[in-house]
A and B are shown apart, each in its own frame.
Chain A
């Protein structure tokens, strides 16, 4: 007996997430009040800082791109019942893959060859980094939550070692590689300016297009291929997957590869798109952000795009906010982001009973009406 009322889809994926975000902002507003600033001013500054002009929008979308990649990564794994919280490490090493490909090839081949190979490098190393925990989960029973989070630390250690000892540009004071001569992804502001639209410079590059293509790809893969059918079967009920003839171990490893590859593409945006060199800490926060994004986007590509946009706005607008209002420090902005994650993730079902009550009432009335009917 399922006592839970089924809410209409539009309430489930529309009203509830919006209610969650509003609740988060309400509580964040109280925090802002508590430090003696005006919540209204803060919201204005946040919006203006993230959407106010073409530069702000560019930055927002650039952050959004990263969140889409990691959000998709978490979602794909989640559909198979796997909780991949190693997006952080997979994204970081994905950047290494992109960077190594670019460093190896930039003098030898033109950009249009180097870029696809850089993308492939990012995906491949990201996939590899997720495949190991996937293998350990499937064949050795090591819990994937534990292994993926540990792999984040290992990835960070590897990067520090490589940057400091191996890849550092000769004579450089900071742990950064030399700049690539080619293999830089076209920047959107350059393209638009070339087409005659005047927009300000921003780091937004063609990775956004790649991210949106990945969204379509994930949507097709999960809901429109027999592979995706098997993945969802595995996620819903591993026994049923075995019954249906799926090898759950093999599928677990494959799904983790796809998940890791998607996370690894953050490296494309960061390394090939923006920095054009290898460096440290470029992926910080996106892997974990992706968990919140996937949760909020209900593991659907469309939801993930919207949630990523929100997180992009918070990231960019938050930076501007801490410039504009000195009372609101960078840490406060992180706290506000945390509140959004808290309300749309952990407390996602908080407003549900209030929204359910009227529907329940309606449903009971309808039941009663049909009973009394002929």
Chain B
């Protein structure tokens, strides 16, 4: 039998006391697309970073084409024919595609011959794999999907026969994702071995030949993609049965709770919508199309430069701006997109974090002094209600797992019974088990009459949560559809800014 293109034997890796990889062994057949799936912290990126030489394994063996190899740096990995495309691109924005491709792989001291050689090689790769990119375009001007293609070209240019992609679809529209998968397939057909790291079940099912499931640093199962399904994979990832679909009753619409009229701010143009009590409005869109700015304006972190925002009796304009403290008093709660950037602070314990924004309210402050007892009690209540683990209010908030941090922030924001709940990326960096829980909580709040605005780059999430979907593109609302009649294709076109797609 032909030896595996890449084989790992008993890879062990510790980060401090954390056991990130426990005896990971797997073999990947030459010319196949292998998926590595697992929750955040399951060790999937760690093990592939070891293969690419970014980390050194504490013990274990790596074999390429059946021969044991030592990989102690990305340089070694490249020499052995391993290439990696990272989740965050490693490109020089101000360079052209060609310059980026040869960066670090220049042949000789002068640039010109390298560039000419690279151009010829790029043309060959383009004709062979359909990897079309203008070699003279400046990287910053390219759409994200093409930037990713540049990353793939970089790896192929360096002679990669094993290509590792870490969460490659996080920044892509559905159409760009489809294109990527077509490229991967043509690479595979010409003998390249591909490792796809992802936590998205749908994509793993669509693109791979075989799936390795990781949990708690171990490979817990390997399945042929054709012989498994999403439910089974989810169960293997989490270690228990998971319901992927969300049951919900039709929304009972109430009065308008928040009205945006022609809101404009840097990065945001003429955004209008009405958010009613008892509904979930989903804001879909590829990341970076004004969603962050929208949330900042709606939560009064940033003032609009024109237009108005009406919350209850209060009208917020450029001349009469509000601030986050006042918005809280108006009953607007905000679960920020980036909880580390906004929702939590440094060394604060979970108890301290659980009152952020409410620290001056009774009972947390009594007669001018903080009451740590009350904070701890409050935190413990929230932890019970939202199943935050471990239930330790005195533990530093940032040392909880992503899902538990998110549950804590969501619990805090809903603890004051808000009328409007703004949620940015409700399940970013959150494991599947917690996603299910967070989604059910949001729907429960909707059913209790809260007006909810969910911003997410995960289309699946928007589709399962929202009653109404608005798509943002280039700082504008590109279109809106009823969730019942929404389909991925139409939304995808709107997300890509194709006009006339609005329903």
Contact = CB atoms under 8 A, between A and B. Distances in A.
A107 to B, nearest CB: 39
A140 interface: no
Most chain-A Cβ atoms within 10 A of its Cβ — which of B14, B15, B359? B359
A273 B370 CA distance: 35
B18 A371 contact: no
A366 B46 CA distance: 22
Contact of B347 (A3, A236, A367): A236
Interface residues of B, number: 37
Nearest to B370: A224
Interface string B445-474: 000000000000000000000000000000
Interface string A1-20: 11111000000000000000
Contact of B345 (A3, A220, A237, A247): A237
Contacts of A2: 15-16, 399
A235 interface: yes
Contacts of B344: 237, 240
A216 interface: no
Given A236-B346, A237-B346, A247-B323, A364 B14 contact: yes
A239 interface: yes
A353 to B, nearest CB: 12
Interface residues of A, number: 34
B444 to A, nearest CB: 25
B22 interface: yes
Interface in A212-256: 220, 223-226, 228-230, 232-233, 235-237, 239-247
Most chain-B Cβ atoms within 10 A of its Cβ — which of A233, A245, A360, A368? A245
A233 B344 CA distance: 9
Given A226-B370, A233-B345, A371-B22, A243 B359 contact: no
Contacts of A237: 341-342, 344-346
A233 B324 CA distance: 15
Contact of B324 (A242, A360, A363, A367): A242
Contact of A242 (B16, B301, B369): B301
A119 B365 CA distance: 30
B351 to A, nearest CB: 11
B59 to A, nearest CB: 13
A236 B369 contact: no
B17 A1 contact: no
Contact of B17 (A228, A240, A364): A364
Contacts of B399: 2
A87 to B, nearest CB: 24
Given A226-B365, A226-B370, A243-B336, A236 B18 contact: no
B288 interface: no
Nearest to B372: A224
A363 B17 contact: yes
B360 A240 contact: no
B205 interface: no
A246 B300 CA distance: 12
B328 A245 contact: yes
B19 interface: yes
B345 A232 contact: yes
A345 B242 CA distance: 52
Interface string B284-299: 0000000000000001
Contacts of B7: none
Contact of B370 (A229, A244, A368): A229
Interface string B328-343: 1000001010000111
Nearest to B396: A6
Interface of B: 14-20, 22, 46, 299, 301, 323-326, 328, 334, 336, 341-348, 352, 356-357, 359-360, 364-365, 368-370, 399
Counting from the closest, the 7 A-B pairs by CB-CB distance are A245-B325, A236-B346, A363-B17, A236-B345, A243-B342, A244-B357, A240-B345
15 contacts: A5-B17, A220-B369, A224-B370, A226-B359, A226-B365, A228-B370, A229-B370, A230-B359, A237-B346, A239-B342, A243-B343, A245-B328, A247-B323, A363-B16, A368-B19
Given A240-B342, A242-B342, A243-B334, 17 more contacts: A1-B18, A5-B17, A226-B365, A229-B352, A232-B346, A237-B341, A237-B342, A242-B324, A243-B301, A244-B356, A244-B357, A245-B324, A245-B357, A360-B17, A363-B17, A367-B19, A371-B22
